[in-house]
A and B are shown apart, each in its own frame.
Chain A
């Protein structure tokens, strides 16, 4: 506290302070839950459940964070995941011949011509190893995510539709395509080797957690250390100044949305592998929660500022609270009341925080002397 007045001048110090604050809040929330329900909250099963639940939501959230830093939003993030999950599931089921649902019937819906279907079957390589199949599935999921993101980026950057509108449209579009393919039915019966991605463990650490940590490291590096990352911040903070600085705004935005799409594809893989099925509507509740978490994590609602540490801790905090509510046995209705109140409290904190920042602005007059 003594050094407070110095810290205010320094943004890297500020970031450090902020991280400490988030960490403390996380510890506080965790401790609170542990004290209230020591036996059940701290039980191995619960902790493990947390470790399996956090990654999907976390990856959606960092995807959302990237577009929000660029000054946009991606409302299609969940349906992007759904679509990439469904297309990659088809590839996976097709190649591993293990679908519990009738693939022939499924495909009849899409391809009217029987000869095409049999042709497909005939040309299908038979000798692919399971590893190959899984690698291909992963590739397809990420590629579909990439393409969905690219379309978002194209609409935002080239057609210049406001992000909230563009992605509202593509949200329905991707969901629609997924529905046309599956008619709303779940795809299930994935091979065990694939399930490992969602429920396996390496050295006692859940595989999804490992994937999540790798994604955090990759995105953190992207944002802090690459020209693209700095460009995303710049475009979000002041697109005009970015243009005047010689940045290619539309290329940066296209890439931003594409990266978020890829992250959605990654989340889809974990989601598929964790519950051994994929279906339109999975993960829908993550959409607004991920926006909430990004704002909680300190990303400016108009873009340009924010960092991944805050967002990751917010994900953890939110999940811990959510799990605590579960254990304490709040009804779904009550939970909504609590979430709503929490959101308002956060909004109050954030806006009073802004007021605080405005006050410190005038320091420039002192400093410049």
Chain B
């Protein structure tokens, strides 16, 4: 048994403040397999991988066997020495260092050398990049790279360490299709070299493409490990959410009112060119394209963050130049940014203070001071409306799960009562169940007459949840298609 297992974990339990985060979970990873770990937010996935990393100590009685060696608990050093490397979602890179330095750093530190030669660094880095068949300029600062490339650097770093188990925490959440294909190629290469991969994910199509076996966690309990061939989409979703999920395309009444937003010949040098589209009240327009297709640049120009050089924007038929965020807000345009952690939230501040940030002027009393009654009432209302799960509106948002954090960002904008809501990747890093709820929210908002621009790189969800789809490529609109007339697979082809 021990021969073919890379790691076996049994009786893993962990509780915080009396609540069980993991309850007697077991998982075994074979040598050279791609093992997927899936589950909703709060199901205990992160706790489990942190235990493998040795960052968190499991409760008593845990039994961990790595390469035949027994541990009752791991330290981070044990874990690393045993060849376990984790690529966290935040990548843990050094933005001020070059690609080569980032890739080589672990190995250099481990080697204990007192001096460092640039040649050695470059050698380590270029070897690692070669293994995963990607070409990156070694001297670029990592902070200057787009997030997709940064991820590749993080993966290369793990590869450079020559690991036996690489754990990837939602590695595809910020990658375009090409990059994902490349990642999967890398994973297959690693697998054929006998390296095991624990792939923590939530995009089902990817799991079905790459996994050998799947372990499903729900509410801190394991629902068993299944061979991928035994599973179907429906089965996995049912396991994860505990309920049968009906997937249906968005039925719509075609909006017939006056156009809410008209974009004409919108252009910005080096970013996007001649963008034309019209958004009607109650309509959801999906915008999709690869990373670097100009979709984020385009939508952020509508919010005044990245004003366009030329072209016209009409709101309710009136010419509305948008040069700043204030212009956009005045026109009733709100924006849920792509990176909610750095652009959308004040992590250490309470849910309440995050929500009211956009609506101070509505909450003032006669003296011009914020009225705590109104503040509480308004924020509680939105917490309830968007079903944000929290024991208190005073809880810092950093303690919420990804899906709940995203709803706080949405709440902050809905509080302003906008007419047009731009959502840039609203379901990135959010699990199936929470995703479904965000989709429901978006549909309900459109039902109330809002115009919604919904940017996503998941073709599946764009097709499911929008009326029309703008496909962008290299800064231009390739095509605007009706979601009724398009299949997910067609869309993927058009994007590439």
- Give the residue of B337, B344, B398 whose beta carbon is less than 8 angstroms from that of A364: B398
Given A230-B370, A244-B343, also A363-B399 (CB < 8 A): yes
On whether the beta carbons of A237 and B346 are closer than 8 Å, the reply is yes
A11 in the interface, Cβ–Cβ < 8 Å? yes
- Bound complex: CA A246 to CA B360 (Å): 11
A185 in the interface, Cβ–Cβ < 8 Å? no
User: Whole-angstrom distance from the CB of B188 to the nearest CB of chain A?
Assistant: 31
On whether the beta carbons of A240 and B401 are closer than 8 Å, the reply is no
List which B413-469 residues lie within 8 A (CB) of chain A: none
Q: Which stretch, B12-20, B225-233, B487-495, touches the partner chain A?
A: B12-20
List which B8-67 residues lie within 8 A (CB) of chain A: 16-21, 41-42, 44, 46-47, 50, 56
On whether the beta carbons of B42 and A366 are closer than 8 Å, the reply is yes
- Give the residue of B364, B395, B412 whose beta carbon is less than 8 angstroms from that of A10: B395
Taking CB atoms, residues of chain B closer than 8 Å to A5 are 17-18
Taking CB atoms, residues of chain A closer than 8 Å to B18 are 5
Given A234-B349, A365-B42, also A9-B342 (CB < 8 A): no
On whether the beta carbons of A230 and B357 are closer than 8 Å, the reply is yes
On whether the beta carbons of B305 and A244 are closer than 8 Å, the reply is yes
A43 in the interface, Cβ–Cβ < 8 Å? no
- Bound complex: CA A234 to CA B360 (Å): 13
- Bound complex: CA A369 to CA B42 (Å): 5
User: Whole-angstrom distance from the CB of B53 to the nearest CB of chain A?
Assistant: 13
B369 in the interface, Cβ–Cβ < 8 Å? yes
- Bound complex: CA A11 to CA B487 (Å): 47
Taking CB atoms, residues of chain A closer than 8 Å to B346 are 233-234, 237-238, 241-242, 304
B325 in the interface, Cβ–Cβ < 8 Å? yes
User: Whole-angstrom distance from the CB of B143 to the nearest CB of chain A?
Assistant: 14
User: Whole-angstrom distance from the CB of B40 to the nearest CB of chain A?
Assistant: 9
Q: Which stretch, A110-118, A221-229, A274-282, touches the partner chain B?
A: A221-229
User: Whole-angstrom distance from the CB of B409 to the nearest CB of chain A?
Assistant: 9
A40 in the interface, Cβ–Cβ < 8 Å? no
On whether the beta carbons of B370 and A233 are closer than 8 Å, the reply is no
Taking CB atoms, residues of chain B closer than 8 Å to A360 are 16
List which B382-407 residues lie within 8 A (CB) of chain A: 389-392, 394-396, 398-401, 403-404
Taking CB atoms, residues of chain B closer than 8 Å to A231 are 360
- Bound complex: CA A238 to CA B389 (Å): 24
B219 in the interface, Cβ–Cβ < 8 Å? yes
Taking CB atoms, residues of chain A closer than 8 Å to B344 are 241, 244
- Give the residue of A224, A245, A368 whose beta carbon is less than 8 angstroms from that of B404: A368
Interface centre among A9, A224, A245, A247 (most CB of B within 10 A): A245
Interface of A is mostly: helix
Taking CB atoms, residues of chain A closer than 8 Å to B403 are 368
A300 in the interface, Cβ–Cβ < 8 Å? yes
On whether the beta carbons of A238 and B353 are closer than 8 Å, the reply is no
Given A221-B369, A365-B21, A365-B44, also A238-B345 (CB < 8 A): yes
- Bound complex: CA A224 to CA B369 (Å): 9
Q: Which residue of A lies closest to B218 (CB)?
A: A369
On whether the beta carbons of B369 and A9 are closer than 8 Å, the reply is no
- Bound complex: CA A304 to CA B284 (Å): 36
On whether the beta carbons of B343 and A241 are closer than 8 Å, the reply is yes
On whether the beta carbons of B394 and A10 are closer than 8 Å, the reply is yes
Q: Which residue of A lies closest to B303 (CB)?
A: A244
On whether the beta carbons of B369 and A230 are closer than 8 Å, the reply is no
Given A13-B394, A237-B348, A368-B389, also A244-B325 (CB < 8 A): yes
- Give the residue of A221, A227, A361 whose beta carbon is less than 8 angstroms from that of B399: A361
- Bound complex: CA A309 to CA B305 (Å): 37
Taking CB atoms, residues of chain A closer than 8 Å to B243 are none
On whether the beta carbons of A364 and B21 are closer than 8 Å, the reply is no
Given A244-B305, A364-B399, also A238-B342 (CB < 8 A): yes
A122 in the interface, Cβ–Cβ < 8 Å? no
On whether the beta carbons of B395 and A227 are closer than 8 Å, the reply is no
Given A227-B364, A368-B41, also A244-B335 (CB < 8 A): yes
A248 in the interface, Cβ–Cβ < 8 Å? yes
- Bound complex: CA A242 to CA B404 (Å): 20
On whether the beta carbons of A11 and B47 are closer than 8 Å, the reply is no
On whether the beta carbons of B360 and A9 are closer than 8 Å, the reply is no
Q: What is the count of residue pairs linking A and B with beta-carbon distances less than 8 angstroms?
A: 134
User: Whole-angstrom distance from the CB of A274 to the nearest CB of chain B?
Assistant: 32
On whether the beta carbons of A362 and B396 are closer than 8 Å, the reply is no
On whether the beta carbons of B349 and A237 are closer than 8 Å, the reply is yes
- Give the residue of A12, A225, A244, A245 whose beta carbon is less than 8 angstroms from that of B369: A225
A37 in the interface, Cβ–Cβ < 8 Å? no
On whether the beta carbons of A247 and B44 are closer than 8 Å, the reply is no
Given A365-B42, A367-B391, also A225-B370 (CB < 8 A): yes
List which A314-369 residues lie within 8 A (CB) of chain B: 360-369
On whether the beta carbons of B21 and A366 are closer than 8 Å, the reply is yes
B378 in the interface, Cβ–Cβ < 8 Å? no
On whether the beta carbons of B325 and A304 are closer than 8 Å, the reply is no
On whether the beta carbons of A362 and B348 are closer than 8 Å, the reply is no
On whether the beta carbons of B325 and A246 are closer than 8 Å, the reply is yes
User: Whole-angstrom distance from the CB of B211 to the nearest CB of chain A?
Assistant: 23
A243 in the interface, Cβ–Cβ < 8 Å? yes
A53 in the interface, Cβ–Cβ < 8 Å? no
- Bound complex: CA A304 to CA B346 (Å): 8
Taking CB atoms, residues of chain B closer than 8 Å to A244 are 305, 325, 335, 337, 343-344
Given A241-B345, A368-B41, also A11-B395 (CB < 8 A): yes
On whether the beta carbons of A11 and B17 are closer than 8 Å, the reply is no
Q: Which residue of B lies closest to A229 (CB)?
A: B370
A305 in the interface, Cβ–Cβ < 8 Å? yes
Given A237-B347, A248-B326, also A12-B394 (CB < 8 A): yes
- Bound complex: CA A300 to CA B396 (Å): 15
- Bound complex: CA A364 to CA B347 (Å): 13
- Give the residue of A227, A246, A366 whose beta carbon is less than 8 angstroms from that of B16: A366
Given A9-B391, A11-B394, A230-B370, also A363-B17 (CB < 8 A): yes
Taking A238-B347, A304-B346, A362-B56 as given, write out 16 further A-B residue pairs in contact, using a Cβ cutoff of 8 Å, ordered by the A residue number: A9-B392, A227-B364, A233-B346, A234-B346, A238-B346, A242-B346, A243-B305, A243-B325, A244-B337, A244-B343, A246-B325, A247-B357, A305-B348, A361-B398, A362-B47, A368-B400
Chain A to chain B contacts (Cβ below 8 Å), 21 pairs = A10-B391, A10-B394, A227-B364, A230-B357, A230-B370, A231-B360, A234-B353, A237-B347, A241-B342, A244-B337, A300-B348, A304-B349, A361-B398, A363-B16, A365-B16, A366-B16, A366-B20, A366-B21, A367-B19, A367-B399, A367-B400
Binding site for A on B (CB under 8 A): 16-21, 41-42, 44, 46-47, 50, 56, 219-220, 305, 325-326, 329, 335, 337, 342-350, 353, 356-358, 360-361, 364, 368-370, 389-392, 394-396, 398-401, 403-404, 412
Please name the 8 residue pairs, one residue from A and one from B, whose CB atoms are nearest each other, closest first: A368-B401, A227-B360, A5-B17, A368-B42, A225-B369, A237-B346, A366-B19, A369-B42
